[in-house]
Amino acid sequence: MCVWIEDADAIDMESKALNMVYINTRVKSFLNGKNTLGIAGVKGQGKTFLLKVKRKKAQGSNKSCQKQSIVCLPRNKMVDTIDSSLIINKQLYKFFNDYNNWVKAWKLSFAITIINSEYFCNLYEEIDFMKMKNITKEMIRMENRWSSPIKVLTKIFRLSRKEINELYVDLNELLMLLERVQSGVYFFIDKVDQAFTIDIHRIYGDTDMSRGARNASYWQYSQYALANAAYDLFSNINNHIKVYYTIREEALIDSHKIAPNNKRNIEAYLMILKYSKIDLHNMFKLYVESEDDINLLDAKIKRTNQEKAFIGMDFIKHGYIDNIDEGLFDYIYRHSLKRPYDIMRICRQLYFLDNEDKRSLRQIRGTVNNASKDILKAYIKELSPFLPCEYEDIKNVLHGINTNVFNIEYMKIVCERYNTFYEGFTKCNRNFVECNNPKPFSLLYNLGLLGVLKQSHTNRSIYIEFENIGESVFNFETQTIPKSELFFLHPCLGDIVRELRNQKGLNYQPNDIFVTGDLCEYNNARFAELEQFILEKVDELKGEKIFVSSTIHDLSEERDKICGYLLDRGLYPIMSETPYFDLSNVQLSHSHDYCIEQLLGCKNLIFILGKKYGGIYSGEKYKKYAEEICKLSKNKIERPSISLMELYMARKNGLRCYLFVSEEIELGKRKYDKEKENSTDIDTMVFIELNFINHFREEEEKAIKGNWISVYQNNNELIKRISNLMFSTAPISTKL
């Protein structure tokens, strides 16, 4: 038997899996406690599994409850679920805008199921049908034999507005009948969160609550109303009636606004399911010990060394950091999102490796990394209804990151770049610490994908901590990242970022100083090394900025194409006419000097020579370099253009320069050189400028390097030539 079962849906009453239960204090309160009715947790915590364990414990070994004093419903399966194809009558869309109508619908469903049940015929016989509405009579007819409250609820959703109002009139009469129940009636309700399509997956207070025809709070109302009804039935009507249920932890957000008078009472009967790393490790050990010997590499040690028994080794050599071996479970855990589902999924994929592959570090790492990527994608998909963005937006954040450890300065650069190119320049106030725009790093933090440094309360050690998923995922209104000297990317994102950047020809390098992951210890003595490493990564990011210099109006088409190409490649075009150009400090200097300052913040220059000579440099800061150009050109260029100044300053400062000129200009230059006459629409100064670029000397008798000029026939060929370029990320060699 393979014990690594990711999804509890297929587990039935006879499954041996129900015997393998790891019990911590929270789980114990649900399985053994008399007053815990519900489980709340994020997806992947194993809520369905525990609900089925509770059902088996309540029902005993018999498949049928008929011979017992406790009636467990539904009869034909372990838990009751709402089908995702659920249909709600259009007349009721606005009706269920009211949270209280959800509570009544749940109570009706339980009441009708009990009254109509073959086990409580005495209740049916005591009904005063003369007082009942016709729809109520129809719903509780003995011939119906409603087998579960979900079937009743589904019927209620299909009623007309008039019918459901009449049904609600009789609710109190039906609830009074339930007071006469003298033996246990246990319901098991699961997966209510999966009943509705995405167009109504919105939480309380969402700005899109009214989107479309349906109420946007159905997802939350349906779940919290179930908890509300379960509490009322047990506490206020009859404590023999117990509704055991699961709901998503996210449904508790702002519950004080939904049920202000009952919140504390409702949630007193609700257990929020959580596991620590120690819990998950003990769960891992329990499952290995429960595995059939034939499925283990070394069954003899399965009670003393579970990691080695399962996979043949108990330590994994780190892929990037020398002399670091981490425990197998530690390696699995830090690639997870701290949920049982993640551990199960990773271990299941390791389980199905061939025995030889189980002993291969490469196979183990590859399997864990691939499983981790799949887990992350599934997690984002699960949360997509609640997120203010799509998965593609998250990828836009990630492809601008070139390592897995950051400081504030690094995050400021990435944040400015992201907001400038994807959110719009106005979203960025150029002050990361005080910025109220929540993306991109608050997004990662709230998703549990950005770690921070924390200090232990016991031994004063420092460790990395990632937010528990689902706990703050909705807090996107303001910047939510706590103060920390350093920040860390979740290991499950490593391969995803690397692939995104490799596709665009960009580098990704994780730090090689220490292991990153939840609860990994941090050695403050190596802080200086990390700071230096981050500085190098910041310098590389600057290399992804490409300054495009040319005359603007006559080369607008070329510049547009270059801008689009560079953005598609994951690079950042610095062009004065685009919305991406930083104008935050332009008032502090002359516009020409400001352009040169922006240029000197880059490492690469694309220079295109057009038919027009362009505007004359008229700044002050770099005036002496304009005079150098005049001298080097032997006064053939008396007043250099701003474009020529940009090229000259780029060369003086060691930027990698790529020069382009159209075939038309090159042919015109040859004719001008030969005949000394210009009969074209090309400015004569362009030919002089081109000759200067080809021949000017940095020092006497020393020809300048990097004066290769690519000639292109048309714009498509220009882009093709640019696509072959390798842009520098090396440190800038300043010569000024």
Report pLDDT digits (tens) over 577-597. 877 777 767 777 899 999 999
Q: What are the pLDDT digits (tens) for 463-474?
A: 999 988 766 555
| CB-based contact 297:313 (threshold 8 Å) | no
Evaluate if residue 732 carries a pLDDT over 60: no
How far does CA 334 lie from the centroid of its chain?
Answer: 16
What would the mean pLDDT of 209-237 be, rounded to a whole number? 78
Evaluate if residue 734 carries a pLDDT over 70: no
Stretch among 223-237, 318-332, 422-436, 662-676 having the lowest mean pLDDT: 422-436
Percent of the chain with pLDDT over 90: 55
Between CA 513 and CA 464 the distance in angstroms is 14
Between CA 372 and CA 492 the distance in angstroms is 5
Evaluate if residue 510 carries a pLDDT over 70: yes
What would the mean pLDDT of 82-87 be, rounded to a whole number? 80
What would the mean pLDDT of 277-284 be, rounded to a whole number? 97
Percent of the chain with pLDDT over 70: 88
pLDDT score at 486? 95
- Band of pLDDT at residue 477, cut at 50, 70 and 90: low
Q: If you search the block for the tokens 């474009």, which residue do you land on?
A: 643
- Band of pLDDT at residue 606, cut at 50, 70 and 90: very high
Evaluate if residue 629 carries a pLDDT over 90: yes
pLDDT score at 132? 87
pLDDT score at 428? 57
What single-letter amino acid sits at 269? Y
pLDDT score at 432? 60
Query: Where does residue 70 rank: exposed (0-12), middle (13-18), buried (19+ CB within 10 A)?
Result: middle
| CB-based contact 677:628 (threshold 8 Å) | no
DSSP at 641: B
HSE-up of 604 (CA within 13 Å, CB side)? 22
Rounded CA Rg of the chain: 34
- Band of pLDDT at residue 720, cut at 50, 70 and 90: very high
Between CA 75 and CA 477 the distance in angstroms is 46
Sign of the Cα pseudo-torsion (272, 278, 281, 287, in order)? negative
pLDDT score at 437? 61
Stretch among 34-48, 142-156, 238-252, 486-500 having the lowest mean pLDDT: 142-156
| CB-based contact 295:302 (threshold 8 Å) | no
pLDDT score at 730? 57
pLDDT score at 485? 92
Stretch among 472-481, 518-527, 573-582 having the lowest mean pLDDT: 472-481
User: Model's pTM, two decimal places?
Assistant: 0.84
482 preceded by a cis bond (ω within 30 of 0): no
Taken as a whole, the chain contains a residue count of 736
- Band of pLDDT at residue 696, cut at 50, 70 and 90: low
Evaluate if residue 701 carries a pLDDT over 70: no
What would the mean pLDDT of 692-701 be, rounded to a whole number? 62
- Output 561 or 458, whichever has higher pLDDT: 561
- Band of pLDDT at residue 209, cut at 50, 70 and 90: very low
Mean pLDDT of the chain: 86
- Band of pLDDT at residue 422, cut at 50, 70 and 90: confident
Q: What are the pLDDT digits (tens) for 652-692?
A: 898 999 999 999 999 988 888 888 888 788 999 999 999 89
Out of 388-397, 531-540, 696-705, give the one with best mean pLDDT.
Answer: 531-540
HSE-up of 468 (CA within 13 Å, CB side)? 15
Evaluate if residue 298 carries a pLDDT over 90: yes
Out of 180-194, 201-215, 476-490, 686-700, give the one with best mean pLDDT.
Answer: 180-194
Q: Which helix (H) or strand (E) holds 725?
A: none
Evaluate if residue 198 carries a pLDDT over 80: no
Q: Which helix (H) or strand (E) holds 145?
A: none
What b/e string do you get for 381-417 counting C-beta neighbours within 10 Å, with b at 16 or more?
ebbebbbebeeebbebbbbbbbbbbbbbebbbbbbbb
The residues pairing with 187 across neighbouring beta strands, listed in sequence order, are 73, 243
Stretch among 151-165, 243-257, 311-325 having the lowest mean pLDDT: 311-325
Between CA 728 and CA 709 the distance in angstroms is 18
What would the mean pLDDT of 385-403 be, rounded to a whole number? 79
